[in-house]
Amino acid sequence: MKALPDNIHVFERGWLSSNNVLMLGRHEVTLVDSGYMIHAPQTLDLVRHALKGRRLDRIVNTHMHSDHCGGNAILQAHYGSETLVPVSELEHVRHWNEDKLSFKATGQQCQRFSADGPLSPGDKLTMADLEWQVLGAPGHDVHSLMLFCAKEGILISADALWQNGFGVIFPELDGESGFIEERATLDLIATLDARVVIPGHGAVFTDVAAALKRARTRLDFLSGNPVRNAEYAVKVLLKFLLLERQRMKLDEVPAMFAALPIVAAASQRYLGKTPEETAEWTIKQLVRACSARIESGYLLNDG
């Protein structure tokens, strides 16, 4: 049996952009998640090539992190696509409240787009001529959603479950609960009869039980000492910015970190450092892991 029906196309992207899932129905076409802003022209090209002249009727976002909705604006401009976002983020998007959306806190970019309607846990959508249930998936992000097609056993898990783990548990960095919610989300996935998972990052996979086992082990490790989650988060944030920019002046990184609210919160609450000290520590960790290198006063992306 094929992992996915012929009318579901997954564009597996790099770690700077989330995977995009194109659903080709007989009467309507939907794209789930749209990648990061600097990859938006490539996202448009991928979608346009796969559509072969058809219109992209709808965009569905699993959550409002910049790597999942950064292509929305260019797709809306080209196709006029209706866009649905998690219900608890709808007004933040409509008013473009950057204090509530995650872009400002993480130093990431997202071109402003419009939202036409909400997605709520329990809703049902028709995509690729199949019925999909909207499921709440807090943990990585308090507003995050998943999409499940019971008939085909397909789960679009976003960043709640990858083949090897899950996304950073961001709520914990601000002192909010996230580990408990991530565990509940993994337990929910275990109750589904999912035979294939389309994750937010990485390849589509079918060994769901093994992925859940690895994710629970990872969660036990992080929740056992929340400092580990904070350390992992700041490394991910700096690596993301390096993937985007490829190079940055070494002496500008501490000030950049100090300007990011989420880094300031993690530094104060868990790391016992100033944001500037956190920047210095994070640089050393990325260089040690061969994920970055220092040359002529610049921090360069590597690995």
**Model confidence over 244-285: pLDDT tens digits?**
999 999 999 999 999 999 999 999 999 999 999 999 999 999
**pLDDT tens-place string over residues 106-133:** 989 999 999 999 999 999 999 999 999 9
Within the chain, residue ranges assigned H as helices are 40-51, 66-69, 72-79, 90-94, 103-106, 170-173, 179-191, 208-224, 226-245, 253-258, 261-266, 275-288
**pLDDT tens-place string over residues 75-97:** 999 999 999 999 999 999 999 99
Query: What average pLDDT does range 2-21 have in this prediction?
Result: 94
User: Are the beta carbons of 64 and 89 closer than 8 angstroms?
Assistant: yes
Mean pLDDT for the chain? 96
User: Are the beta carbons of 233 and 266 closer than 8 angstroms?
Assistant: yes
- The pLDDT assigned to 298 comes to 97
User: Are the beta carbons of 228 and 222 closer than 8 angstroms?
Assistant: yes
Query: What average pLDDT does range 202-220 have in this prediction?
Result: 98
CA dihedral (245, 251, 252, 253) in degrees, to 10, reads 70
What is the model's pTM? 0.96
Query: What average pLDDT does range 276-302 have in this prediction?
Result: 97
Cα separation, 198 vs 147, in Å, equals 10
Please state, for a pLDDT cut of 90, what percent of the chain lies above it: 95
Residue from 281, 270, 263 nearest 225 by CA: 270
pLDDT tier at 159, thresholds 50, 70, 90: very high
Encoded amino acid at 85, one letter: V
